[in-house]
Structure 1
Amino acid sequence: MTILLLVSFVLFILTILLLEFFQNYHVEEVEQSLQFEAQKISRILEDHSDMDLSLQIISEIVDEPVYALVTIENVGTFSSDGNKAYQQDVRELIEQSTVFSSVTEQQKSVQQELSVESDASSNRYENVIITGVPFTFTDGSSGAVYVYQSLEALQQTTEQTTRIIVLAAGIAIILTTIFAFFLSTRITAPLRRMREGAFEVARGKFDTKVPILTQDEIGELATAFNQMGRQLKHHLDALSQEKEQLSSILSSMADGVITFNRDGTILISNPPADRFLQYWYQEQAAGMNEALPPQLQELLLRVMETDEEQVGEVTILGRTFVTILSPLYSGDLVRGAVAVIRDMTEERGLEKLRKDFIANVSHELRTPISMLQGYSEAIVDDIPQTDEERKEIARIIYDESLRMGRLVNELLDLARIEAGHITLHYETLPVLPFMERVINKFNVVSKEKDIRLTIDSLLAKEDEWRFDPDRMEQVLTNLLDNALRHTHDGGIIQLTVSIEAKRLTVEVSDSGIGIPDEDLPFIFERFYKADKARTRGRSGTGLGLAIVKNLIEAHNGAIEVESNLNQGTTFRFQLPDKQL
């Protein structure tokens, strides 16, 4: 449409200019021809003294549609037009116009266009162009030659020229329309395809390709468009891979990572950071709706104010978190901060455990060493006077040395088990005979304390299980020894053996003093003793249950405890299928 409108406008202007040009051209040609004819007739009249001969010559050389009118002073008027009425009208018109006065009075050539009535009945006029030229005879008389021509013939010529020009303009418009459709096919259609391809790329389809139909500028544009799409897809794939890689790194990090905007809004957080925030939401009191703990908000505010890294600790629900906040820059402006949050609860617990371990070992060793040192000094100073006193001191020294040796051995066993340096020697043994052999070791002690020691089992004598007999005997020995030491005289200790869900289940139950509920979660820790006021004779090293738990877990089993204060305690452990 743009091309058609442009070409139509140009052709319209060009047609008007051409019509005006040809019309002016034809008029000028007629004027020049009439001027030439008038001058030629005036020369004939001046050169020939015979008027009749001159008029005859004039009649011969003047052809339609050109007519001549000769006026001679004191003689009359002669015309080449046979139409007397038309001749009279023209003469009157000439005499009334400025042409007559200019020629006769001023003796100069004049041209003028006049309107002459051609048909009185229809009141129709036609335009004529008149050229007047004065002449003078040899005898001094003068006259004038008026050559005139109707413009109807000129109008016909102009109309014919107009038809030709309009026809040429119509043909030009038709050719332009054909060219416009051709141009649309060659240029506009590929551009439309590229526009559609651009919309597809804007919607995220970066593999969109535009067909390359030509090798010109449009073809080069299509090639550049396809290359741009490939480059965009490559860069976006690279960005997506980097984003996935960063997301995987953040998700797999053990430390929490939170990215903050400058106003404190959380932008990115990984799973450990989400758990940290969840702890904070759980700790908040009812009615509070703080997004961050106050300590973390204070650290974030200091980072924004000082543009420096800040380190602090946050305690939530009894857990300790160390937080490091670093500023994020956009040019020279701090646009936010990133916080790395590390849960130090286990490390602090291990540190406390290490300190407690050193304190407990020191406490456990200090008493026997002090007793050994004291009784040894008594012997050196010859304080005991009788053999019985010496034997008593020697027995005490022997018992304390055994206690120290037992403590050291248990520490070494526990250290080896926790370090994974222990090797289990599995054997397939009958269960009941093994249990009876272990429990028989405690018959003497149980009879002395009047404690009934029994086995309850539905297993047959030939039922077998696969385990390390030495380590399992150590487990049962520790559990039975604890039960005997914490059961009152006349109590009951029962060993129950069964198979449940393809797992060997062993229970050691006693009717002893029991364990307080607040101590149950910690009884498998090293050096932990529930009865703080327990006498030395009934107190162990506090390592036995820790060793039991590690040995059961080394067998891929599990152990649990149930206890009611002053009603008894039950230790239950399970070993996996003997086929495993």
Structure 2
Amino acid sequence: MRTWSLSMRWWLGLAFAVIAALTAVLVAQGITKQSEAAFRADAGARAIEASVAANVALQKAVERGNIDEALPTVAARRRLALFLFDGAGRPITPERVAQTELASIPDAKIAVRAALEGRRYVESYDQGRVTVVALPMPSGSAAALLTYSLQPGYGSTMTMIRDQIASAVGWAILLGGAAGLVIATLTARRLRRIAKAAQAIETGDFSRRIDSRLADEIGMLADTFDRMRVRLQESFNGIQTERLRLRRTLERLDQGVVTIDSELRVEAANGAALRLLDGLAEGEPLPESWPDFPLRGFCAGLFGAETDVARARVSPDADHYYTLYGIPAGESFRTA
């Protein structure tokens, strides 16, 4: 199966950029919604303030009986289109005031119904450019006041805010990706030092030291790995020492000693064995040095299950006789 590799510094940097982008987008959406809600509330507050003042003035006009004269004056002063309704919800003032048709006001019936029920109705439309307010007006024949105001709105301001937020999101993504790339590069570099030390140990080189530098998790891993390297080096040196000692002991023997693996390849042989067996060499297949004796077959039997020590008498010629002992490899070793 073919594996697909990607350096940590790239995918971790990309992960930082994605996290920064998601965070920035969520924050931007929250700021946009809060800003729009604040602008809408401000537009409604200004419309209510003007409508309440108009309501007070019109109540006095109704009491004086000069509503027809007062309506245009109050509308011009407050910059509102004003409409009065009786208790049945029928308009008692002209349906066109301040160049505004009553029929063109959004949700006018809903607003008037709310005012007749004694509730205040406030709603902004078209990004704050239009605000509709309905207020109860228990004064004589007039039962409700409906106002319609035109304001600059907050559309251009929101556009500017969105542009600024988009720029901030872009910078957040770039900075997040750059920070992630730097962090990932530093982390990958530290892990790469550990990997190179592991590769050196794999080849038998225990001299590459690992410096932790920082006391974090990777630093702890580096310290642990370096301690393992030192112990492996000590163990390896001990094994090498024991091997050399065994080698010197075998060289002092008059008897020939040969060790072989399961593929009948010579692992080690002392000087006496090299003199006795023609063609014998370490790292090479075990030769058939004696034509009348199947040496390889004898040795192959040492790798069977539950094999005992084998013994054979060999006479390669009329003048020489040898006793051959075969010590089986056993289950835990691959050398006989």
Provide the TM-score with structure 1 as the length reference: 0.43
Contact between 2:303 and 2:330, CA under 8 Å: does it hold in 1?
no
1:243 aligns with 2:282: no
SS in 1 for 2:295: coil
Letter in 2 for 1:7: A
SS in 2 for 1:205: coil
Aligned equivalents of 1:337 and 1:134: distance in 2? 103
Aligned equivalents of 1:201 and 1:281: distance in 2? 38
Q: CA deviation at 1:135?
A: 4.0
Q: CA deviation at 1:264?
A: 5.9
Aligned to 2:328: 327
Aligned equivalents of 1:303 and 1:310: distance in 2? 11
Contact between 2:128 and 2:154, CA under 8 Å: does it hold in 1?
no
SS in 2 for 1:256: coil
Q: CA deviation at 1:208?
A: 1.6
Q: 1:166 to 1:254 in 2, by over 3 A?
A: same
Contact between 1:70 and 1:77, CA under 8 Å: does it hold in 2?
no
Aligned to 1:41: 54
Range moving further from structure 2, 246-255 or 36-45: 36-45
Aligned equivalents of 1:302 and 1:182: distance in 2? 59
1:68 aligns with 2:80: yes
Alignment of 1:431-510 (within 5 A): none
Q: 1:242 to 1:77 in 2, by over 3 A?
A: same
* Alignment match of 1:102 (pick from 107, 110, 115): 110
1:133 aligns with 2:134: yes
Aligned equivalents of 2:307 and 2:55: distance in 1? 112
Aligned equivalents of 2:275 and 2:93: distance in 1? 134
Contact between 2:131 and 2:148, CA under 8 Å: does it hold in 1?
yes
SS in 2 for 1:153: coil
Name the % identity: 13
Letter in 2 for 1:154: Y
Aligned to 1:154: 154
Choose between structure 1 and 2: higher strand proportion. 1
Letter in 2 for 1:322: T
Q: 1:44 to 1:193 in 2, by over 3 A?
A: farther
SS in 2 for 1:255: coil
Deviation sequence 1:441-490 (CA, Å, 0-9, x none): xxxxxxxxxxxxxxxxxxxxxxxxxxxxxxxxxxxxxxxxxxxxxxxxxx
Q: CA deviation at 1:197?
A: 4.0
Aligned to 2:88: none
1:292 aligns with 2:305: no
Q: CA deviation at 1:207?
A: 1.4
Q: CA deviation at 1:292?
A: 1.1
Aligned equivalents of 1:265 and 1:170: distance in 2? 67
Q: CA deviation at 1:58?
A: 6.1
Aligned equivalents of 2:328 and 2:208: distance in 1? 41
Aligned to 1:538: none
Aligned to 1:310: 310
Alignment of 1:108-187 (within 5 A): 110=121, 128-136=129-137, 138-150=139-151, 153-170=153-170, 172-173=172-173, 176=176, 179-180=179-180, 183=183, 187=187
Structure with greater Cα Rg:
1
Aligned equivalents of 1:302 and 1:229: distance in 2? 36
Aligned equivalents of 2:162 and 2:323: distance in 1? 98
Q: CA deviation at 1:245?
A: 2.7
Alignment of 1:362-401 (within 5 A): none
Contact between 2:111 and 2:121, CA under 8 Å: does it hold in 1?
yes
Q: CA deviation at 1:272?
A: 2.9
SS in 2 for 1:76: coil
SS in 1 for 2:154: helix
Aligned to 1:93: 104
Contact between 1:261 and 1:267, CA under 8 Å: does it hold in 2?
yes
Contact between 1:39 and 1:133, CA under 8 Å: does it hold in 2?
no
Q: CA deviation at 1:237?
A: 2.3
Q: CA deviation at 1:21?
A: 3.5
1:273 aligns with 2:270: no
Contact between 1:132 and 1:147, CA under 8 Å: does it hold in 2?
yes
Q: 1:242 to 1:37 in 2, by over 3 A?
A: farther
Aligned equivalents of 1:148 and 1:223: distance in 2? 74
Mark the runs of 5 or more structure 1 residues left unpaired by the alignment: 116-125, 339-580
Contact between 1:135 and 1:142, CA under 8 Å: does it hold in 2?
yes
Letter in 2 for 1:69: A
SS in 2 for 1:330: coil
Aligned equivalents of 1:207 and 1:255: distance in 2? 39
Q: CA deviation at 1:205?
A: 3.3
* Alignment match of 1:22 (pick from 35, 44, 64): 35
Aligned equivalents of 1:303 and 1:210: distance in 2? 42
Aligned to 1:358: none
Q: 1:202 to 1:147 in 2, by over 3 A?
A: farther
Contact between 1:103 and 1:133, CA under 8 Å: does it hold in 2?
yes
Q: CA deviation at 1:324?
A: 2.5
Range moving further from structure 2, 254-263 or 173-182: 173-182
Q: CA deviation at 1:209?
A: 2.6
Q: 1:307 to 1:140 in 2, by over 3 A?
A: same
Contact between 1:44 and 1:54, CA under 8 Å: does it hold in 2?
no
Q: Which has the higher contact order (CA 8 A, sep 6+)?
A: 2
Q: CA deviation at 1:39?
A: 4.8
Aligned equivalents of 2:265 and 2:191: distance in 1? 46
Deviation sequence 1:342-367 (CA, Å, 0-9, x none): xxxxxxxxxxxxxxxxxxxxxxxxxx
Q: CA deviation at 1:57?
A: 5.7
Contact between 1:136 and 1:142, CA under 8 Å: does it hold in 2?
yes
